[in-house]
Amino acid sequence: MLLLGVYFLLPLALLLAQSFRPLVIGQPAPPGLTLANYVRFLGDPFYLGTLRATLGLGIFVTVLAMTVGYPVAYGLARGRHRGKALLRLCVVAPLLVSVVIRTYGWIVLLANNGVVNQTLLALGLIGEPVRFMFTYTGVTIGLVHFALPVAILSLVGVIEAVDPALEEAARSLGAGPGRTFLRITLPLTLPGLAAGSMLVFALTVAAFVTPALMGGPSLIVLSTLIYQQMTVTLEWGFGAAVATILLVVATGLFLLYQRLLSLAPGVEQPG
Amino acid sequence: MSVQGRLVLGTVNALIYVFLLAPILVVVIVSFGDAAFLQFPPRRLSLRWYTNLGEYPDFVASFWLSLLLAAATAATATAIGTPAAFALARHRFRGRALLSALVMSPLVLPGLVTGIALLQFFSLFRTEPSFGRLLIGHVVVTVPYVVRSVGAVLVGFDRSLEEAARGLGANAWTATRLITLPLIKPGLLAGAIFAFILSFDNVVVSIFLTTPRLVPLPIQIYNYVESSARPIIASISTLQIAVIVLLLAAAERVVGFSRYVGGGER
């Protein structure tokens, strides 16, 4: 445990301290603390743009992943067929494969001469390849795939906690499936849905590999900006400040998720 | 639900499952192609990209390095995480909440932030980057998973079994070996396997701690993908996936492991 203290808390404290150090490259920094790194971030339209891109992608991907994940989670929670264990494994499988390999798979699928474009061209649906790589569309697809298993796993427990008898009662009283869903299932799962969204959002804004490989230099988000600062431009103080901002956004939401979790019944904690 | 409703839900879900598995399956299929470039579906199947792996010594070295690193991480994280889980589950002591928060915090924190924090920390020492640094980084981010897995089996653990063994004359070590360890084995194994897989897959911590001579496999793949999407990446990726599948299959035979599967990249 001492090890965690030394190799986790200490480096973290150092990172925070570094973010308040003056901007000097290569030289031992003059003493004193400053907010210069944060002022620089907040005063520059380019950096603010990366923050906006990160949050925008985060919200969009979260909404998509929760929407797409809901029917799958519903099937897993309510299904009584024998293939359920296998389906669950299919949901978990992407989590077991390194995110670099998953991203490579998406590049094979989505490149200009990739599988998807070739198929669409062959079918005559498009005249020229759709640009997925280095665009918001491509990064969004990659990130939704990255977040989907967690979205589904967070929803399964939430849906399982809803007594099926309530849905059956609504149906027997004459409500259609759509109305039953909107009036019974959805409202009852809303707290868990909100909690799961926080988790998915926190994961998405902190994701690095997908935006780095699929967004390239044309789509910089906080995580790729941090990587640049730490390894290419070597402005560690500024990198540390951006990392602190990311930490506040992602970890703050994760803690909010846990808070909501304690209020929402039946939420399974993935992770 | 009506037959119609089931049909719609079933079709939608089938498409989503295809989406979930597509990028993984495509990598595996492409790896068995015969062409010098990426081809899907492959016109002819071959093992070409497996038999010529030897021509990519950097990939081979990375593969063995990652395997060793993952095994060392699993062993170390289990050795550290298990006592922590016991302390948290069985004792009420001052600082318990703090210990709990400390153990879990690498789970809450984006891995990237942990990575750069370690990079800055290690740069304070003038020592050369080494295997030890990678190991420390991986242990820090995997210990929480071990604590959770072991903690989960300890919740339902009946301590009177241990007391009965002691009452029947077993000493502490014998009681632990014969009673406690077999009972917590599923959690222990699940934690170790989590740690192994997370280390074997890790990018965000490794990327800041690699050296030109010590490049874990996911970082090597990352570097290759960044320059070009060649078929050799598909075959080494498939081998990476195969290691994890074999590991899980072996674990499934020892204890029903599938109950414990779940998790996320952080």
Most confident stretch, A165-174, B66-75, B99-108: B66-75
CB pairs under 8 A between A and B: 230
Contact B21 A223 (CB under 8 A): no
Mean pLDDT of chain B: 85
- Residue B258 has which token pair? 């599938």
Q: Could you tell me the pLDDT band of residue B255, with boundaries at 50, 70 and 90?
A: low
Contact A226 B112 (CB under 8 A): yes
Average pLDDT over residues A245-264: 77
Which chain B residue is nearest to residue A216, measuring alpha carbons? B226
Neighbours of B9 (CB within 10 A): 18
- pLDDT for the residue numbered B240: 94
Q: Could you tell me the pLDDT band of residue A8, with boundaries at 50, 70 and 90?
A: confident
- pLDDT for the residue numbered A211: 94
Contact A100 B225 (CB under 8 A): yes
Which chain A residue is nearest to residue B109, measuring alpha carbons? A251
| pLDDT tens digits for range B109-134 | 888 988 988 888 888 876 677 899 99
User: From the list B17, B27, B225, which residue is nearest A90 (CB)?
Assistant: B17
- pLDDT for the residue numbered B1: 60
A25/A28 Cα distance (integer angstroms): 8
Phi, psi values for residue B211, rounded to 5°: -130, 165
Neighbours of A5 (CB within 10 A): 11
Average pLDDT over residues B20-31: 94
Q: Single out the residue of B189, B230, B261 nearest to residue B39, CA to CA.
A: B230
- pLDDT for the residue numbered B266: 34
The structure tokens 């037959």 sit at B3
Task: Say yes or no to pLDDT of B264 above 90.
Answer: no
Question: What's the full length of chain B, in residues?
Answer: 266
Mean pLDDT of chain A: 85
Q: Report chain A residues whose CB lies below 8 A from the CB of B266.
A: 203, 206, 271
Distance (Å) from the alpha carbon of A263 to chain B's nearest alpha carbon: 19
pTM of the entire structure? 0.87
Distance (Å) from the alpha carbon of A92 to chain B's nearest alpha carbon: 6
Q: Of all residues in chain A, what percent are helix, strand and coil, respectively (each to 5)?
A: 75, 0, 25
User: From the list B113, B200, B263, which residue is nearest A247 (CB)?
Assistant: B113
Strand partners, B211: B214
| pLDDT tens digits for range B63-102 | 999 999 999 999 999 999 998 888 888 887 777 877 777 7
Burial status of residue B150 (CB atoms within 10 A of its CB: 0-12, 13-18, 19 or more): buried
Q: Could you tell me the pLDDT band of residue B206, with boundaries at 50, 70 and 90?
A: very high
The residue among A49 and B229 whose pLDDT is bigger is A49
Contact B263 A95 (CB under 8 A): yes
Task: Say yes or no to pLDDT of A99 above 60.
Answer: yes
Percent of chain A past pLDDT 70, that is, above it, reads 90
The answer to whether residues B23 and A149 touch, using CB atoms and an 8 Å cutoff, is: no
- pLDDT for the residue numbered A271: 38
Contact A11 B117 (CB under 8 A): yes
- pLDDT for the residue numbered A25: 56
B234/B36 Cα distance (integer angstroms): 12
- pLDDT for the residue numbered B28: 94
Contact A149 B106 (CB under 8 A): no
Q: Could you tell me the pLDDT band of residue B192, with boundaries at 50, 70 and 90?
A: very high
- pLDDT for the residue numbered B262: 43
Task: Say yes or no to pLDDT of A33 above 50.
Answer: yes
> Buried b / exposed e across B163-181, counting CB within 10 Å, b at 16+?
eebeeeebeeeebeeebbe
Kindly tell me the sign of the dihedral angle through the C-alpha atoms of B217, B128, B73, A255: negative
Q: Could you tell me the pLDDT band of residue B263, with boundaries at 50, 70 and 90?
A: very low
The residue among B124 and B12 whose pLDDT is bigger is B12
Lowest mean pLDDT, pick from A238-242, A251-255, B174-178: A251-255
Task: Say yes or no to pLDDT of A259 above 80.
Answer: no
